[in-house]
Structure 1
Amino acid sequence: MQTTYVPRKRYSSSLFYRLLISFIIIILLLVSFNVASFTFFRSSIREEIIKNSSLNLETTVASYEKNISLIKSLMVSLYFNTHTEALKNNPQKLDFIISSQVQRELQNVLANNQLSLYNIIYYFPNRDFVIDKDGSRDAQMMFSKFYTSPMYPEQFWSTETGKSSLSFRVYPSAEFQERTSFSTRSFGTFNPVLFKSAATDGLSIIALLDSDRLFEAYSHFQVDSDFYILDDAGGTTYAVSNRKDPLQLKPHTGSSGYYLEGTNYYFYKQGAVTGNTYVLIVPFATISEQFFKLNVFMVGLIFLSIIIGVAISILFAKRFNNPLTTIISSIQQMDRHQSAPFVSPIREFNVISQKLHDLFLTNETINRDLLSKNSLLKHYAYLNKVKMIHTDIEDAKISIDSDKPYVIVLYQLMYIDNQLAAMDMDPNRASYYIKEFVQSQFIQAYKDALTFQIEKDQILTIIFTNDSELSVLDNLLIDIKKIFELDASYCSVTIAVSPVHDNAFIFNEAFENTLLLAKQRKLGEGVQIIREKEILPPDLWFSPANMKEFTANLTSGNHSITIPIVSKTLELAVKRGASYAQIHDLAKEIVNLIIKTLYSSHNPISLLDDKRSLADILKNCRTLEQFQQFFKEILTQSASDIRQKKEATDHITSFVTKYVNEHFGSDLSLDLLADKLNITGAYLSTYFKEKTDINFSDYVNTVRMNKAMELLEKTDLKIQDVSTLVGYYTIASFNRMFKKHTGLTPSEFRRARMH
């Protein structure tokens, strides 16, 4: 019996078998990748959890400690400010005006609060009263009704503030509530923070830190993690956990680190400010088990995918190979250079043959067109290369001349806006005309030179030449400079010329160096040609003595001092060889200093209201004299504004305060007083707020409440009568305003004064 032998080469070169083998290899690679990923996961997931959890805890601890440090600084500043000192120095009697000012200070602090503080309480244990953002009241009422907590009654604070060794402490968190006869309202969970002076026990400041809000702001832990803050005795100060038993860390753990106990990792770190220990508990076993189950499922899915994939590969390879083999055999019969396409009795093959014939003809047409447009493509290739410098495209492959030496010439255009506007021409159109002129000049001497506009104020020329032909370039640049000088009244030009470069692959670097050359332009109008790089002076700024003298005289409106300081600073920069760009940047910094200094002292510059900005005016300065004249005008104007503001008399504020104090029981309105002053109500409101830092309505209410407190304390008039005398015609509105101002109702206030 004769056996038929099929050569191995026949099968190895078959498209069907190669497709089938390729599909199987891809499937095996996917399986290998999954197995490798599973192995890597088992070995590295533990380290990743430890690393990420440690970093998260360190970030949280740093944020918490910084927040506590800022709270301490805030409490120190409040404790030693002017109003607080006035309250401490008057232990016998509460000054309600100062008390109201302290209350407003607390409201302002808490309104702009970024420290997660809910309230700040001034506690006077010797006088048994407190002041907070809502007003003043006795301490017993404060801690038994308005801010009550079983952990922190009034007796607790009385004891704590009496400890001479204690000055600052953060207490464990607890829920605070408001309890009235009708309802109970929870404020939330707070960590009380106490600050007092060791020298005196007459005043303590208690801040209520919103624990949950602070945790939400600074923690970024996974959902099933537990978080604890322990004090120096190991007690829990704050916790986010479902555990019922108190947390106990292992002894001798140090100030920071982690350890594994049971199925949990314990990460801990001690804070430098508070001394508290922050603990993060991460359950590792649950995560590992979930990932393990996922990988078991994925392994089963991969095995199933292998079986399905092999079956589909065989089917797809056959369906793809059979018609393709027929098509290839038909294409092989076609002659690429024949005048007519191959004709077959099969319609589909005729379509393919016709399309291929059309493609051959199109390809020849495209080749001829590409040859005719080669110079244009080269132009855009260099333009793209320049643009890549600004977009950081490093790997794009652009077809440029890599075997020709070249020189880069950059024209930096500096237009004078008012001159350009007088010619009724915008910068883009002017730059286009200049580009066309430069191109016409270079194309005569260098036929393959490329000139194009890369920005609205930048033109670039690339010349293919060598060192022996640079004299032609020098003469051409001199001629171009003469033409540019004729238009120097509306445009100053900087011409930066690079050395000859032989390597096209460093074109980006060569262009960047040419840009740096252009920035070496010195002060002055006209045209400057720059070829060599020079060392520019660093640190162009005022000396410390000049800075102090300048700002002091600036806010005083003394331009006879400030103008010479600026002029000498600019002259020194020119003497040290500074470039125009450096002096322009120095001038911008001085302008910013003037604006910030005057605005911080409430002396805005009227020049800022002009149609042209200071930056636009500064941009048109070209010479030292122009810069000096610019600062002379701005400093003279600012000095004039300051003097006018100082010389203005404030008769409006005096009239308003006097009228309100004399007619507090009458109908007072902003429009009424504005009409008496013959001004508008809106202007009076803005003016009074600017001068007194208080709204008109708030000032009227303050005067009326002070008068009401005086009548309630020193007379036996009925509350209804007091209400009418101070300008309130309904007892309800009077009671509401009085409680808002003092924290007590009129009846409570009178009873408190009787005791």
Structure 2
Amino acid sequence: MKRNPRKPASLLTTMLIGFLVILVVSACFNSMAFSYFKTKYQEEIIRYNRLMLTNASVRYNRLLTDTKAALFNLYYHERVTGFGRQLAAGDGEGADFLQAKQVVSLLGAKAYDPNALLDNLLVYYGPGSLVLDKDGSSSASLFFKMLYASGDYPLPFWESRNENGFSFRILPASSFRTESSQKQGKTLLPVAFQPPGSSYLTAAFVDLEKAGRMFWGEPNGDRSFVILDERGELLHGPDGFSPASLPALEGSSGYALKNGHYYFAEKSKDGLTYVTIVSNSVMAAQLNRLSSTLLTIFLGSLAVGLAFSYLYSRRIHRPVKEMLSTIGVRRPALSPPPISEFAFIQQTIDSLLDKKEQVEQELSSKESSLTHYHFINHMKRIRADISEWQDFLEAGGSFTVVLYSLRFRLGRNGEECAAAAAAVRERIEAAFRETLPGSHTFQMETDQILTVVSGRPEPTEALAEVLDGLKERIDRDRQTYLVTAAVSSRFSHAVQLHTAYLQVQSLIQQARLAEEMQILFESRRLPAAAGLSPSQEQELNAALQAGDGDVALGLILRCLDELQQKEAALCQFRQFADSLEAKLWLMMDLHKIDLGSSWALKLAAAPLKDCCTLEEYKDTLRAAVSTAAALLLEKKADRDPVVQYVMDMLNTKYDEDLSLDALADKLGMSSAYLSVYIKEKTGANFIDHLHGIRVAKARELLSDTNLRIQEISLRIGYRNIASFNRMFKKWIGMTPTEYRKELAAE
């Protein structure tokens, strides 16, 4: 029996189910999150109370230890023992009460210390029944019945203690009525010290209320604090508390829950046990309120989510259903939908289908061209969406990129360059097609060709063989063009094409100035660009201004030879040539040589951008420098008589105190007019000409004579050696002394 295929669910049902699944998952997550939060909240409260108890027990233990130490030191203090011996010897008669006053001072100093947390500190002498405390002395009867009265500690209690002795003893806390608290007593913890057989004792009353505020903060009705001694007897606790009501706390948790209260215990090294009792009602109430709030929010959000899911699903389903009813098999006579928006959608879909068919036909006819185009787009990170590119992406595997840079020799026009580039590309394609068929070769620019060698195996040896074979064939045409090939590293994914392209672009910049094809596999450290030193710059400027092309060219050729010896990159040669060309044009501007006259320099310097060898650079720069020197010499010969007179004066009397005002008077002009006139005719003002001539003469004297710096300064017209040093450094870039040292080093 043939089974009917399952009918697909409608969009409305699918969307509703999807929304419901999201809501159920959200509900489960919220429930688990709340349960986890509730557990963590309880654990945090327990941890907090345990930490509070631990800190409090340490501080109480330190307080009691300090109190015991104070009682011990006080008991054996020489004034306390001395006064006790006096009382024991004379039963109070003949005792030195001035010494008793000193004991009172000792007691007050300790009792009034805010860190001691003591309400009082006393010495009770049995002989004489005398008590010394922080406020003075009194009889034992008065002190224990009126000043510090307690039902738990009457006078007979202290008398019996004085007779028996007990060493250190922490007594249970009790309420004491003092002078300052007659109506409402203070809760004090007595601590006493009396060695056996002694006739007096020392005692301290620890203020537990003050200690509680300091160690716990303000009193909280939800927390109770209990102190038990080493025998488990109660030292301090809430009213009506019995140690027998404590639950067992021997477990590793350190706490127990009993009758709606948490019990936390901490035992100190001296045997005391500290217990806090925290009511669970507050925490339970907070958790219940939190549970109610979260449940209300959850139910409300669930109801809103269900309503929104249904309404939103209906809203989406209705137009989609109507749209689907209008879209089907394309029929020429299909009437448009009655709704204008959907009619527009139908027309747009038909139009898109027509365009899709046209594009598919065009793409199928231009598959090869589009593949090359898409490779270039990805190399340059140009976004496109052509299906052929997916073949390369889906193939995966590693790849290597080879970039070829073509340099056409001088005298080649655009058509010849294009034809040569096409021929090189065909040679590369043929060579790779034979050995590495999985490669793609295409032209990036007029002077750039790129090959992508794809495939999982490492084709290093095969690639090197192909490139070596190409080198032999391409070098036959080196009189027409020169080629440099840069090989990238092996990359593992097609998305790294741009990185590979950047790598070979950087590598191609390191090509040397060689008259053969170069194959670059690895990067190298480029030498520091050799340029003109400051002194050579000045010498070149002086030679050009004088129209001496031979001197200027000699400097330039030496720099070119130095670049070649250091194996500088082609780009460094181009930078050097560009800087020289810029300097020549700057000279043209400074000497006001018009564009018509300087056209010869433009023609002479034009081949610089196409130079491929050292000899071509030398020949082109020789022509450019000679042309520039001739133009400058011609301009120099055609000088204005006023300018000629001023320059002659500067060249012959530079060592004198020349001034623009003096020359203007001789010429019958104003100094302002003469200054503007010189600037307009020569491109530099009067003072620059004067300093330039003086500095040039100083350079001659520094190189040709052994005269001292100060003597040279005077000979060229600088009366102040500091001015000479400053001006020389401004023009040459170094001081006269440094310049002479550089000449000696050369």
**Pairwise TM-score range, normalised by the shorter structure:** 0.3 to 0.5
Normalising to structure 2: TM-score of the pair? 0.39
Structure number with the bigger relative contact order (C-alpha 8 A, sep ≥ 6) is: 1
Normalising to structure 1: TM-score of the pair? 0.38
